[in-house]
Amino acid sequence: MSIKRETDLRDYINNIATGRREVKLSDMAKQVKTGFTFEDDRLKAIGERLKKNCITLNSIEGTEFIMGILTGFNKSFILNETEYNKINWNELEKTLIYKVLAGKDIKRYSKVLNKYMIMIPKGWTNKNKVNREAEEYVKINLHNIYNHLINSCESDNENKSIGLFERYNKGDYWWELRGFNGYDKFERGGICYGSLQRTPTFCHTECRLTYLNTVYLVCSKNSKEVCNILNSNIGFNIYKKFISNSELGDTVRVLLDVMENMLIPKDLEKLNGYTDRIQQLKSENKDTSQLEAEVEKIVQELYGLTDEEVEYLCK
């Protein structure tokens, strides 16, 4: 007895109920992990052609995938603009405070920069204190940071977490962040995005920023052109239909280990300059619909899709 083609959970259950499929815990676990793909023959044919003609994002030269920072206690390490501006930071402290993006701060081709992160990485204190006692060194040389951390912790009476001093995600000392190999890579910039999306919401960054753990950063040789691909409705639907099975209602989880398999056209030259132009206009609150429509047509051409295929893919 052959197994009926399974396109959804109902088919899977029916095959078990009718004896077509043997019930195995390992098999059930695999289905739960990978999900069920609602894929018909026409969609399958489009996907096979794309996989044949495209390359994966992780195969582009210099591509790296970086997750944002988990502070373990945002109450102390994240400041809003008012909190940041009322303190007269010294020059050393300014080198340890970065503008930071959370997932909700990222828009399509734009970002809201109104938060700051105190970012003292693991190992920084021991490298700089020489023979001095660690906390005394920080008190003297980073006195504003030290006082802010202490005061914000004391004012947090309602917080039910472990807290600033005993949190798991710390470095050698409570004022440091945990060990992380991406600090220097944040300086490069790239494509940043939140892990949960309803519509394509990617932005390109180049300035000195850091990112919370709800944000991912993709650095690559052609990151600006790739940003156009990801922000297009075509690219987003290719990700949804052929790359990820991780959908929560109308929300898509865009995870790093899945995003690395995103299908990208081999030649992106026709998209040169579009990200810069669109993001500049967005920063001036100007209309970008015409440029974004141009990007959509170029993306269609680069993927080699007909109008009918685009309509079917994006429905």
> What tens digit of pLDDT does each residue of 43-79 get?
899 999 999 999 999 999 889 998 888 898 999 999 9
Question: Does 146 score more than 90 pLDDT?
Answer: yes
Q: Residue 89's domain spans which residues?
A: 70-185
Average pLDDT over residues 26-43: 55
- Indicate if 251 and 289 belong to the same structural domain: yes
Scanning the structure block, which residue is given the tokens 């619909």?
A: 289
Question: Does 289 score more than 80 pLDDT?
Answer: yes
Dihedrals φ, ψ of 166, to 5°?
Answer: -110, 15
Q: Which two tokens stand for residue 101?
A: 């993006």
- Global model pTM greater than 0.85: no
Among candidate residues 13, 5, 6, 60, the one with its CA nearest the CA of residue 266:
60
Question: Does 226 score more than 90 pLDDT?
Answer: yes
Asked, for residue 15, whether it belongs to a domain, the answer is no
Question: Does 183 score more than 90 pLDDT?
Answer: no
Asked, for residue 2, whether it belongs to a domain, the answer is no
Count structural domains, the chain: 2
Asked, for residue 228, whether it belongs to a domain, the answer is yes
Round the average pLDDT of the chain to a whole number and report it: 85
* pLDDT score, position 124: 95
Question: How far apart (Å, rounded) are the C-alpha atoms in residues 239 and 191?
Answer: 16
Amino acid in the structure at residue 83: E
Asked, for residue 150, whether it belongs to a domain, the answer is yes
- Indicate if 48 and 103 belong to the same structural domain: no
**Band (292; pLDDT cuts 50, 70, 90):** very high
- Indicate if 99 and 176 belong to the same structural domain: yes
Q: Cα 245 to chain center, whole Å?
A: 17
Asked, for residue 22, whether it belongs to a domain, the answer is no
- Among 130, 164, 185, where does a domain finish? 185
Asked, for residue 102, whether it belongs to a domain, the answer is yes
- Indicate if 299 and 272 belong to the same structural domain: yes
- Indicate if 94 and 172 belong to the same structural domain: yes
